[in-house]
Amino acid sequence: MGDIRQEFPIAPAGAGSLYFGIGFVIFMLAVSALVIWATTGHLRVKYQVGPDEFRIAGDLYGRGIPWSDINGRSIREVDLSSHPELRPQLRLNGTGMPGYAAGWFRLRGGAKALAFLTDQHRVVLAETSRGYLLLLSTPDPEALVMAMKSAIGAGDNPSSR
């Protein structure tokens, strides 16, 4: 190795590389925030029984479902370990990770479901007239079933939906 007699710097990059770098960092922060929000969704989800609709709140896939879309006679408690055909098999659009599944799923039996599952043993099942099932984990499935049936009128009227 000889002595270095002269040294020349690289030509400075244009502003485009700086803007790209800043944009990339902002994009990665946004993606990270979305992932954190999705993975902690189970901490925010609430089921709300109102006079006009059943509402799933606190998650990206939550929504209000008019009582007229829910078959009152179908509302019941299920244990998915006893009903493998009701277990989610394919995530169509949603969050799926160990201990939390939220969003749209194809079930092993072929049905489509809007699911919010954290516990496969304490689940409320309801059929809708829109061609999908609701699968809802809750610590007290019996209370949710009673509240939904009461709101829809299925508990009092055998001919109800």
Using only C-alpha atoms, the chain has a radius of gyration, in whole angstroms, of 25
- Tell whether pTM > 0.85: no
pLDDT tens, position by position, for the chain (161 residues)? 678 888 888 888 788 888 888 999 999 999 888 877 777 666 778 999 999 999 999 877 889 999 999 999 999 999 999 999 999 999 999 888 888 899 999 999 999 999 999 999 999 999 999 999 999 999 999 999 999 999 998 544 444 44
Token reading at 73: 């006679």
In the three-class reduction of DSSP (H, G, I as helix; E, B as strand; rest coil), residue 159 is classed as coil
8-state DSSP, 14: P
Q: Where are the domains of the chain?
A: 44-152
Q: Report yes or no: 106 and 90 within 8 Å, Cβ to Cβ.
A: yes
Q: Report yes or no: 91 and 82 within 8 Å, Cβ to Cβ.
A: no
